[in-house]
Structure 1
Amino acid sequence: MVRNETWCLDNLYTLLPAEAQESLSKIAPQLTLNRADKWIWSPSATGCYTVRNGGTLLHEVWKAPPTGKIKLNTYGSWREPGAFIGGGGLLRGADGGWLHGFWSCGQGQSAFMAELEALRDGLQMAWNSGYKDIVAEVDSRETLHVLRDAASHAFCPVLSEVVKLLSYQWRVDLQWIPRECNATADCLAKLGLDGGILGISYFERPPVEVEPLLLRDSFSAF
């Protein structure tokens, strides 16, 4: 990335808009004595790869789905004053590119309900879009635990709706991921909550607020 003590942007022209290239070029590179950064890649206990620089953990990364599959990421956010919840989710293909997304705002009493409603809305979006082979990722272990507990389904209408969606004629591989890997869905959920407009909004193109997160995910997707 650094050549002759200046940024080398050749490989980023197709990924960064002109204004981002200009901003980056104005930042002086931090040069080390040996003029080289050292990166160490190692899998974590969850199977995700982590990035370490000088022995410091930076973040766990989102991974693109295998060819032929679509990945759904959802997140639910809860704000106790006023008892409002926000949901967010997006679908991406094997190339890591945005396909569809949503954010929502509604009334709710817990972060758990926010997670369930976001998962329900994300699954419904995927089904309505015609996809039949889905990897669905959430960062709530409680959500996965309750989905596996059949005895609890009758006591929660939203949970029953999720279970019904999962029973459709398609394949859904439901997985837990660390929250660091779910940042884009997290951002969408908070945008929906902060907007305060009750209901759900769908997006064929990503909102500008999540574009930096999508770009970050694209670097680590493969």
Structure 2
Amino acid sequence: MEEATETIRLIEHRVDQFRTLLFLELGKEAYHHIGIDWWLEEVKLMIQPWWEIDAHNVRHMVLVKPAKTLEEDQTNARNILGLPEVANWPTLPLLSMELLIWNCRGAGNDRFRRNLRELVQMHKPDMLILLETNVDLHKMGMFFNNLGYTASSHVDPTGRSGGIWLLWNPNQINVRVNEAGSQMITATIARQDYPDWVLSAIYASPNPRLRDELWSDLESMAQNMHEPWMVAGDFNDYSSLTEKMSYSVNQSQNSNQSLRRSQKFNDRVNNCQLMDLGCVGPRLTWTNNRKWWANTMVRLDRALCNTEWRTIFPEGYVRNLPHTYSDQSPLIVHTQGTIKLNTDGSTRRNGGGGGFGGLFRDETGSWISGYYRKLEICTSLEAELWAVYKGLTIILQRGMNQVVIETDAEQVVQLLSEELRERCPFRGVVEDACIIMRDCNCTIQHIKREANICADALAKLGENQLAELLIVNDPPAEIHNMLIADIVHLSQEVVRT
């Protein structure tokens, strides 16, 4: 027995991010010693055969997971360190989970592959939800495996229309599909140290009768849904006239039809006890790609959730990306993360008016959108207040929540943070701003002028603009270097030079 044991090789493995690959040669034996760079004394090995088998090797994926619960491990660590049972452990923030949702209008060509590869490299989503793919998934398997999305569930198109694909990285999240149909795939999403939640990926049919069937199914699900639930995708509907921009000659007739359609959509959302997560970035997600007066744009894509989902992900938000390959915008759903709004006002020394500006950025400092406008005769305080107030109106219109507002005007922070005084300057603007801040759970804080150079540059652009508020989805060329400097914390050096 001992002689037989000596002939078996011992192969050492080091676990990297809770996973390792073992190459098991056919017809041979080997002991595999797994070295784990962690202090846990017990682990589980879950061995899953991978899809690839070649002539010489059978490849297996080995996932390493704690055998004990987090609470048990903390108790064990307290005993090792000699800490009392009542000692509090720091609560670490959950890392954000990102989902890319895109009605790509066809996934079987090189242009789609190139655009999706760029989106994945830039945003690194944990899950892809692709709609109206128009081809079968098996034709794209190798492409998605190379991107890292080796697990999937899908409903292939009927003929050359429709299709819903869910693809995910199994090293980041676990997905258990509960139900799949031509208009919806529902799955439970799980991730280590994350509460489980339910996702319904939607591609609503352009056919009103079929859309009614989809909403009937959603209402039935809502009656028995007690878990956190998000419903996201292309609904082929809109919730208000502000979500549709069209220059049709039959404007009056179309407005009445649009009003009835949007009211029906809102009633359905309310019947399911869902709320809109809002969006940042380009608000209207679909365009008919026609020019001038023939152009129509509508917000067809969105993410809805119930109160349970909103409770566990209070900072979750949706970012609409610009159109690229498709006539519909990709959406990125972030389960965590803080949106910041930097604002500033500007006045000319000769009393010839001024301007204001602001920009929305994510937790990494990356640009989301911005705005600026010209003001006629105004004081410095008035320009600063209008910068904040107009930013708040955008927050309200787009359904954003828990935005952190930063300004270098201390007096503005005081006015919007303290109780409203009887002799408050510009009382009407201050009062309205406070109401929006309260309703949208926004906070405001003071920052140094050196940390606000991008908003200052937008305010100066506003001085030379027409009176109308200009909202820009791409950063103006004048502030590109400033944005980069802010991200790498070099704003002060830029100001000095």
TM-score under structure 1 length normalisation: 0.64
The letter for the 1-side match of 2:405 is A
Equivalence for 2:162: none
Which deviations, in whole Å up to 9, do the C-alpha atoms of 1:29-48 show, x marking residues without a partner?
A: xxxxxxxxxxxxxxxxxxxx
Name the CA distance, whole Å, in 1 between partners of 2:465 and 2:365: 29
Q: 1:154 to 1:220 in 2, by over 3 A?
A: closer
Name the CA distance, whole Å, in 2 between partners of 1:72 and 1:161: 18
Equivalence for 1:118: 387
Name the CA distance, whole Å, in 2 between partners of 1:102 and 1:155: 22
* Higher helix fraction (1 or 2): 1
State which of 324, 335, 342 in structure 2 corresponds to 1:73.
Answer: 342
CA RMSD of aligned residues (A): 2.1
Name the CA distance, whole Å, in 1 between partners of 2:390 and 2:461: 16
Equivalence for 1:105: 374
Equivalence for 1:139: 408
Q: Alpha-carbon deviation of 1:155?
A: 5.4
Contact 1:72 1:136 in 2 (8 A): yes
Which deviations, in whole Å up to 9, do the C-alpha atoms of 1:158-211 show, x marking residues without a partner?
A: 22221221121x221210000000000000000111x14212100011111111
State which of 430, 433, 455 in structure 2 corresponds to 1:162.
Answer: 433
Q: 1:155 to 1:89 in 2, by over 3 A?
A: closer
Gaps of 5+ in 2: 1-120, 122-335, 491-497
Name the CA distance, whole Å, in 1 between partners of 2:377 and 2:419: 22
Secondary structure in structure 2 of the residue aligned to 1:73: strand
Contact 1:153 1:160 in 2 (8 A): no
Equivalence for 2:357: 88
The letter for the 1-side match of 2:436 is L
* Relative contact order, higher structure (CA 8 A, sep 6+): 1
Name the CA distance, whole Å, in 2 between partners of 1:167 and 1:134: 11
Contact 1:91 1:126 in 2 (8 A): no
Equivalence for 2:462: 192
Contact 1:91 1:99 in 2 (8 A): yes
Q: 1:101 to 1:215 in 2, by over 3 A?
A: same
Name the CA distance, whole Å, in 2 between partners of 1:214 and 1:93: 12
The letter for the 2-side match of 1:216 is A
Name the CA distance, whole Å, in 2 between partners of 1:89 and 1:68: 19
The letter for the 2-side match of 1:181 is A
Identity of aligned residues (%): 31
Secondary structure in structure 2 of the residue aligned to 1:150: coil
Gaps of 5+ in 1: 1-13, 15-66
Secondary structure in structure 2 of the residue aligned to 1:133: coil
Contact 2:405 2:445 in 1 (8 A): yes
Mapping of 1:1-12 within 5 angstroms? none
Which deviations, in whole Å up to 9, do the C-alpha atoms of 1:81-115 show, x marking residues without a partner?
A: 35412011000011221111001102242000000
Name the CA distance, whole Å, in 1 between partners of 2:398 and 2:426: 29
The range that moved more, 118-127 or 184-193, is 118-127
Q: Alpha-carbon deviation of 1:73?
A: 0.2
The letter for the 2-side match of 1:138 is T
The letter for the 2-side match of 1:117 is W
Residue 177 (1) aligns with residue 447 (2)? yes
Contact 2:420 2:431 in 1 (8 A): no
Q: 1:84 to 1:155 in 2, by over 3 A?
A: closer
Name the CA distance, whole Å, in 1 between partners of 2:379 and 2:337: 35
Which deviations, in whole Å up to 9, do the C-alpha atoms of 1:116-151 show, x marking residues without a partner?
A: 000001111223233212110010111122221411
Q: Which of 1 and 2 has greater Rg?
A: 2
Equivalence for 1:215: 484
The letter for the 2-side match of 1:191 is L
The letter for the 1-side match of 2:375 is G
Name the CA distance, whole Å, in 1 between partners of 2:425 and 2:344: 23
Equivalence for 1:128: 397
Secondary structure in structure 2 of the residue aligned to 1:102: strand
Aligned residues: 154
Name the CA distance, whole Å, in 1 between partners of 2:411 and 2:425: 17
Name the CA distance, whole Å, in 1 between partners of 2:368 and 2:413: 25
